[in-house]
Structure 1
Amino acid sequence: MDTKHLLDPDDPTTAREVEDGLLESLGPVHFPPKRAEAVKLRLLDRIRASREAGKDFIRIRFDEGEWESLVPGVRVKRMQGDQRAALLELQPGAAIPFHRHHEDEECLVLRGRVELGEVSVGPGDYHLAPSGSRHGIVRSAGGALIYLRGTPIGHPLALARDMITALLPGEDVVPMTIPRDEGPWAHHAPGVDLKLLREDGGRRSMLLRLEPGAGAELAFGAADDCLQLEGEVSVDDVLLRAGDFGRPAGAGNHRRVTSATGGLMFMSCAG
């Protein structure tokens, strides 16, 4: 028997064809009226419960909110004003002038590659510019999308201060970079790992990595926030996709964090 043309469901190149063929062969299922009504009510109850569960968790989708022009070729969207969190998008060839930091600024790359002075960072890389450090010109040859936490962008006086003081002499603090593929991961739960990026000043920053189908209970304090870097992750019933920002709206508590597809999330936590 010639088997070379048979479809192997375990072969990723033919699995989709097998799946599509099976789905096309299935006919509609007709429930009796009473059962159909019961299924409908259960679905509506589930929708109401999901909406209720998401009331105390704020989500800002990547495609929501207003983008503002910062300099030619660079636009910014502020995510959380009190923590100075923002998304920054650089068009190919765009640049930001050199500046000095007066607060700790954390940077995560979502897309593309950015040159931070002499340091080059790409997707998933973490960069910390401590207070007192100075950046050379920030530029991206091919375009990039980055997340900044602690940035003065959106605060004109603080931004002007950072630009002016970069010209003054002073003892520079050295920034820190943790590439995506470097640094230890700690096992938290089956399919769930954590990488600690920074811990000082009463805050911790970390990466949360989930394999497809994995989940775990995590403490989410009222002062915590997160940004989805890759894939999709649900915090309780709130789905976060790449570029989405989230934080509790009220008192913090433990939340169920799961991912059907796998995902990578950045978290900033108090304590």
Structure 2
Amino acid sequence: MTTMPDHPESEDDTTDLSPLLSEPFARAWAAPATGLPGRLGERLGERLQRSLQAEAGMVTVRLRHSRAEDGLRWLYRAPADRPLRPGEPRAACFVDVPAQGFMQFEPSAGPREFLVLDGEVEIDTEALVARDYLLLPGGNAARLVSLGGARVFMREGDATVAAQRTLVRDRDAGWPEFAPGIRRRVLWSAGGQAALLYHADAGASVPVHRHGHDEECLMVQGELFLDDVLLQQGDYQLAPAGTGHCITETDTGVVIYAHGDADLQFT
């Protein structure tokens, strides 16, 4: 497998406020702020504690903090010592295909999904560009070839999920209306779960909802608040089945790849 050297992102890390929600700051934030009037300090502490508890069950990976390993930037790998949750991926990663190079993957047990994020790449004889999507059923090897270099999101699913080869080209797919200010493209669906692209206008939001399947959210473009977590371009979050989101809104407008419930479970 041809590899690509590790090039850390040049993005300014000072915009990442997530360390303020981790130790040793978490205990300080969670304690009532005695200097604030009335119950304001206590209420802020309660809000932060709820935020920490909700975030603890989720996996959030920042693009700026990821590092390449043999051309792969791992976002998630499921533990091998337990069954997968409904909709949980076996693995998810970015594949950085070098210019005039290739990446070769052995046959997978479950279906593999590919979403091109940048550049042009050929996968299993299909020439793909940004936002093109390809699903290969389980049992297929995959060879990614690029002349100018490309970044591809790759997801390996549960071996028990039957899937047929599926190709969705960005130029042909369109953006069907889903909700006010939100358009949704269904890339693939089966058994109550789906792979989707969402296009949301600035100011759009989604009501409170819960997840019957694991929900993956990959920021293709723009910024999104998932509760108190701000996701930016290239960031990834996995919310396990049984969890939920109270706040899902964008100030900038976004394009999001999501894998989860085919129909959102509003509460």
- How far the C-alpha of 1:109 sits from its partner, in A, is 1.3
- The percent of aligned pairs where both chains have the same amino acid is 24
State the one-letter code of the partner of 2:239: P
User: Is 1:256 aligned with 2:255?
Assistant: no
State the one-letter code of the partner of 2:188: R
State the one-letter code of the partner of 1:190: P
**Kept after mapping to 1: 8 A contact 2:135/2:164:** no
- How far the C-alpha of 1:68 sits from its partner, in A, is 1.0
Q: Secondary structure at the match of 1:213?
A: coil
Calculate the TM-score normalised by the size of structure 1.
0.66
Q: 1:52 to 1:97 in 2, by over 3 A?
A: closer
Q: 1:123 aligns with which of 103, 112, 130?
A: 130
- How far the C-alpha of 1:267 sits from its partner, in A, is 1.0
Q: 1:196 to 1:255 in 2, by over 3 A?
A: farther
Match of 1:145 in 2: 151
Q: Which 4+ stretches in 1 moved above 6 angstroms?
A: none
CA distance in 2, matches of 1:119, 1:109: 12
CA distance in 1, matches of 2:105, 2:136: 13
Deviates more, 1:44-53 or 1:119-128: 44-53
**Kept after mapping to 2: 8 A contact 1:105/1:129:** yes
CA distance in 2, matches of 1:221, 1:269: 8
**Kept after mapping to 2: 8 A contact 1:86/1:151:** no
CA distance in 2, matches of 1:248, 1:174: 26
Calculate the TM-score normalised by the size of structure 2.
0.66
User: Is 1:81 aligned with 2:77?
Assistant: yes
User: Is 1:94 aligned with 2:93?
Assistant: no
Q: 1:102 to 1:239 in 2, by over 3 A?
A: same
User: How is 1:194-213 mapped onto 2 (pairs within 5 angstroms)?
Assistant: 194-213=184-203
User: How is 1:11-50 mapped onto 2 (pairs within 5 angstroms)?
Assistant: 45=44, 48=48
Structure 1: gaps (5+ residues): 1-36, 70-74, 153-172
CA RMSD of aligned residues (A): 3.2
Q: Secondary structure at the match of 1:212?
A: coil
State the one-letter code of the partner of 2:65: E
Deviates more, 1:233-242 or 1:182-191: 182-191
Deviates more, 1:81-90 or 1:199-208: 199-208
**Kept after mapping to 2: 8 A contact 1:220/1:255:** no
Q: 1:202 to 1:190 in 2, by over 3 A?
A: closer
Match of 2:8 in 1: none
CA distance in 1, matches of 2:55, 2:106: 39
Aligned residues: 209
Structure 2: gaps (5+ residues): 1-35, 79-88, 263-267
- How far the C-alpha of 1:256 sits from its partner, in A, is 2.5
- How far the C-alpha of 1:199 sits from its partner, in A, is 1.0
Q: 1:92 to 1:263 in 2, by over 3 A?
A: same
User: Is 1:193 aligned with 2:183?
Assistant: yes
- How far the C-alpha of 1:237 sits from its partner, in A, is 1.9
CA distance in 2, matches of 1:117, 1:253: 36
Match of 1:176 in 2: 166
Q: 2:257 aligns with which of 259, 263, 266?
A: 266
